[in-house]
Amino acid sequence: MSNDMHSKTISELAIGLRNGDFSSEELTRSYLDRINASQERLNAFITVTDEQAMKQAQAADQRITAGDSGILTGIPIAHKDIFCTDGVRTSCGSKMLDPFIAPYDAKVIENFQNDGAVMLGKTNMDEFAMGSSNETSFYGAVKNPWALDAVPGGSSGGSAAAVAARIAPGATGTDTGGSIRQPAALCGITGIKPTYGRVSRYGMIAYASSLDQAGPMAASAEDCAMMLQVMAGFDKRDSTSSERDVPDYSADLSKDLSGMKIGLPKEYFGEGLDGDVAKVIETAIDEYKKLGAEVVEISLPNTHMAVPTYYVVAPAECSSNLSRMDGVRFGHRCEDPKDLEDLYKRSRGEGFGTEVKRRILIGAYALSSGYYDAYYLKAQRVRNLISEDFKQAFEKVDLIMGPTTPTPAFNLGEKSDDPLAMYLADIYTIAVNLAGLPGMSLPAGFVNDRPIGLQLIGNYFEESRLLNAGYKFQQATDWHQKIPGEFA
């Protein structure tokens, strides 16, 4: 088998498997070798499931031979370690869940397995998905394949780094405030956060239940369309799951963009945006004009409220969701507790990291009597205003575009002692989660050899339009084909 397999996209690998150019066993073994060779430098995985992967690859080869293959049969995929996976450690990047072996599969894992995809392992992540840099993981920071002294972004940093270094052709991520799009941008790959409710949250360990959404991360929009096809759909076990039919996401990829109206929010191009990043984004927007799209300036006046709103709503929901991690029902249990109170205090104190504790405390405070109305209720009202901004904008435009992040990837440790600076890394992504809209990040260029992402925001359930716009851009540019030198 040729040595350049890792540079092929999921769609190219799928064709190769069907044509018998190589087997899933050969393909899976080559990716496992790449993972094991890079783990020390990148730290992208928490658990590598070698044995299980090879068994699944054998089964996939049999399905392909029998002519019974799905979209991703035989394709190796990595999963963020937030999805429960039967018989495999599911840690959420936390000491609290380090010993936890999930007794069942999340719906997302189930869907990939039913389709015949191969699981390479579970990727590293910010603890309980709380962080913007993948430095809060109990298993250590993930490194950015483009610059090993830089962060890959978070919380799905392990998945983003794995795809960028081509040690996995595709990976799952979750996005609560930008955690698919922001690491996709900083690692130079494509990532899409679907509409809230499009992908089941069953078996996905909850951070903030009204914001969390799973989505695909891959080199290209075409690959993300294939993955989303497998991930999306109604699930009766998730009460927030949408019953809307799933369209064929690959069907409209090459649709002409002429006449498409793109809105550029003036709030995304003001103070705080790095000048060099702005130039990259403007060049990308010019590309869309060449493709026939019309560009207009719009306003999302409540954008400045997105970060403070999010950091009331998300911690409030996290403090509630993580209350079950108490050393009794779930999670790490301290040694020799004196009494029940000591058991709770020490188990949670030892099991959770600093950032998670910070958010639990903020959330518990915001929900406490006397403060609920002042903080949580007010935040939910502002959240409605933010949604209304988008609603009005989509009456005038088809898509909204802007930067995914205000700067290129920052260095490891640079913002660790400054939580507020870290929180502002998600300034352009958070509002999309508060409104429940679909959002996507595409590789659009480089600043100082570090990748820059262009963000696309669509109206509810318009993932096909996002994927179409992403695909056409990638037909006209080659940023998504760039591989970090060390991993080429």
Separation of alpha carbons 92 and 98, rounded Å: 8
* Cis omega (within 30 of 0) for bond into 441: no
Q: Which residues contact 420 (CB under 8 A, 6 or more apart)?
A: none
What pLDDT score does 53 carry?
98
The pLDDT tens digits for 443-475 are 999 999 999 999 999 999 999 999 999 999 999
| Amino acid (one-letter) located at 99 | P
Domains in the chain with CATH codes = 5-259+461-487 (3.90.1300.10)
Separation of alpha carbons 179 and 432, rounded Å: 12
CA angle, 92 then 93 then 99, to 5°: 75
Whether 1 has a pLDDT exceeding 50, the answer reads: no
The pLDDT tens digits for 177-233 are 999 999 999 999 999 999 999 999 999 999 999 999 999 999 999 999 999 999 999
The pLDDT tens digits for 60-113 are 999 999 999 999 999 999 999 999 999 999 999 999 999 999 999 999 999 999
What pLDDT score does 3 carry?
66
According to DSSP, residue 352 is labeled: S
Whether 2 has a pLDDT exceeding 70, the answer reads: no
Q: Over range 336-345, report the average pLDDT.
A: 95
Count of CA atoms in the C-beta half-sphere (13 A) of 88: 26
| Amino acid (one-letter) located at 386 | I
Separation of alpha carbons 366 and 374, rounded Å: 8
Q: Which residues contact 75 (CB under 8 A, 6 or more apart)?
A: 10, 13, 14, 17, 24, 27, 117, 118, 169, 170
- CA-to-CA separations, 340 to 226, 353, 357, 475, in angstroms, rounded: 49, 21, 20, 61
Helices 306-321 and 354-367: crossing angle, nearest 10°?
A: 100
Q: DSSP string of 404-468?
A: SSSSSPPBTTSSTT-HHHHHGGGTTTHHHHHHT--EEEEEEEEETTEEEEEEEE-STT-HHHHHH
Place of tokens 């405070």: 365
Q: Of 271-275, 389-393, 432-436, where does mean pLDDT reach its minimum? A: 271-275
The pLDDT tens digits for 235-251 are 999 999 999 999 999 99
Q: How confident is the model at residue 33 (pLDDT cuts 50, 70, 90)?
A: very high
Q: In the sheet where 118-123 sits, what is the strand order?
A: 45-48, 118-123, 76-80, 170-175, 213-218, 190-193, 439-447, 450-457, 399-403, 261-265, 294-298
Percent of the chain clearing pLDDT 70 (strictly above): 99
Alpha-helix runs per DSSP H in 322-418? 340-351, 354-367, 378-393
Q: Are 429 and 400 contacting, i.e. CB atoms less than 8 angstroms apart?
A: no
Pair type for strands 439-447 and 450-457: antiparallel
The pLDDT tens digits for 379-424 are 999 999 999 999 999 999 999 999 999 999 999 999 988 888 888 8
Q: Which positions are catalytic? A: 80, 155, 179
Q: Are 107 and 235 contacting, i.e. CB atoms less than 8 angstroms apart?
A: yes
Which of 82, 117, 68, 105 minimizes the C-alpha distance to 223? Answer: 117
CA 455: distance to chain centroid?
A: 13
Phi, psi dihedrals of residue 411, rounded to the nearest 5° = -75, 150
Q: Which residues contact 296 (CB under 8 A, 6 or more apart)?
A: 261, 262, 263, 264, 396, 397
User: In the predicted model, what is the mean pLDDT of the chain?
Assistant: 95
Whether 26 has a pLDDT exceeding 70, the answer reads: yes
What pLDDT score does 420 carry?
82
The pLDDT tens digits for 120-175 are 999 999 999 999 999 999 999 999 999 999 999 999 999 999 999 999 999 999 99
